[in-house]
Amino acid sequence: MAKVELVHVCKSYNGKEDVIQDLSVSIEPGEFFVLVGPSGCGKSTILRMIAGLEAITSGELLIGGIKVNGMPPSERNLSMVFQNYALYPHLTVEQNITFGLHTKKISKQEQKKRCLEAAEMLGLTDFLKLKPRQLSGGQRQRVALARAIVTHAPICLMDEPLSNLDAKLRSKMRSEIRQLQRRLGITMIYVTHDQVEAMTMADRMMVLNEGRPQQIGAPLEIYNHPSNIFVASFIGAPPMNLAKAKVLESSLLFNSERVMRLHHHLPSSQQQVIVGVRPEHIRLADTGDEYFIAEVVNVEVLGTETLITFELTKTEHWIARWSGQWNVHVGEQVPLFIDETAFIFFHEDGQRLNHPVSSYVASGEERK
């Protein structure tokens, strides 16, 4: 196993503006580390720099404590699984799996042994004599994984390997890849734009936007404590509800329409803030709760849960997620309650506020 470190890494093309800006991160040996962000944010470029397929403009890349900036890919002792699988159509599954081993001067007997071990691990034993065109998408993905495994490299890079699969197969392959990484104990660096993949697979993950790291941490840490509104809105499905509000002593005023009184004071009266709350923290009020009334504008019953979109103000809608199946109708007025510890506050510039605001009650005619 090997540690991967990027120290103040930047990447630009033709001397123009950096597409990767001052990136520093340390990926521990045996860690499943995920790079996640929207398309074009630079995550695949970072992976290609680690692999040696892209040159680093400035900064240092260390693998196992050794600076490898100018080292060719073949000498970095890592394997890579590409988005399009990169299988050779004229070779059999067995030949595809062992393709790179002859350059490492590994005996044919050892190549055969490694191939059979990987094939058994990934359920490919019966397909070794077939060509890639005779395989399903999931089976081709397994061949690409097997080819990475047989190198016995301590680091494996994966560039959106599941994006070409259907939803059911993606879910199955997520579990298989994670189990495989644990079994082999390798360091895996995984690129995806799918925040569900990131949340379910990562030991730690880095959220990227426009070439800049937004937050690095464990999935639940990032979900529960987003550092800014980009992370709050990108991580989570449905995403965090966000709305601008004005602080009035111990109250919040949303769009000059809805007032919510806080039990704790924000330090700056008249301050403009952005208020966030996760959909699961908005529930139907029970007897004794202090609630506010909202009109339902959309209902999605998904079987295991129901998503209720309601009108916070005339121009802003929030979503509540309720477990199970609920008989709620569009246009209905419902009493809602938000856990007083659930609010997260952000500056207008998008960065999180750390002030301990922990509760509110609805005011005026909305109060019980």
Q: What is the CATH number of the domain that holds 152?
A: 3.40.50.300
What's the domain range around 252?
246-366
Question: What is the pLDDT at residue 326?
Answer: 94
- Between CA 88 and CA 72 the distance in angstroms is 23
Residues 151 and 289 in one domain: no
Residues 49 and 81 in one domain: yes
User: pLDDT tens across 108-145, in order?
Assistant: 999 999 999 999 888 899 999 999 999 988 899 889 98
Asked if the structure places residue 273 within a domain, the reply is: yes
Residues 11 and 31 in one domain: yes
Asked if the structure places residue 67 within a domain, the reply is: yes
Q: Which of 234, 254, 287 is the last residue of a domain?
A: 234
Asked if the structure places residue 187 within a domain, the reply is: yes
Q: Which residues have a Cβ under 8 Å from the Cβ of 316 and sit 6 or more positions away?
A: 243, 254, 255
Asked if the structure places residue 339 within a domain, the reply is: yes
CB burial readout 51-79, b (16+ within 10 A) else e? bbebebeebebbbbeeebeeeeeeebbbb
Q: Which of 213, 234, 255 is the last residue of a domain?
A: 234
Angle between helices 108-121 and 137-149 (to 10 degrees): 130
Residues 226 and 354 in one domain: no
CB 347 within 8 A of CB 276: no
Question: What is the pLDDT at residue 355?
Answer: 56
Asked if the structure places residue 239 within a domain, the reply is: no
Residues 192 and 70 in one domain: yes
Asked if the structure places residue 241 within a domain, the reply is: no
Q: Enter the DSSP assignment of 271.
A: -
155 has a pLDDT exceeding 80: yes
User: pLDDT tens across 212-250, in order?
Assistant: 999 999 999 999 999 999 999 999 989 999 999 988 877
**Structural domain count, the chain:** 2
Asked if the structure places residue 190 within a domain, the reply is: yes
Q: Which of 234, 262, 281 is the last residue of a domain?
A: 234
Question: What is the pLDDT at residue 365?
Answer: 37
The amino acid at residue 120 is: E
Instruction: Supply the mean pLDDT for the chain.
Output: 89
Where do the H-state alpha helices sit in the chain? 43-51, 93-97, 108-121, 137-149, 167-184, 195-201, 219-224, 229-234
Residues 221 and 264 in one domain: no
Residues 146 and 250 in one domain: no
Side-chain-facing half-sphere of 364: CA atoms under 13 Å? 8
The amino acid at residue 110 is: E
Residues 123 and 26 in one domain: yes
Residues 174 and 281 in one domain: no
Question: What is the pLDDT at residue 46?
Answer: 96
Q: What is the CATH number of the domain that holds 326?
A: 2.40.50.140
78 has a pLDDT exceeding 90: yes
Residues 141 and 193 in one domain: yes
Residues 20 and 153 in one domain: yes
User: pLDDT tens across 175-207, in order?
Assistant: 888 988 998 899 999 999 999 999 999 999 999
Report if pTM > 0.85. yes
Asked if the structure places residue 240 within a domain, the reply is: no
Residues 165 and 303 in one domain: no
CB 294 within 8 A of CB 308: no
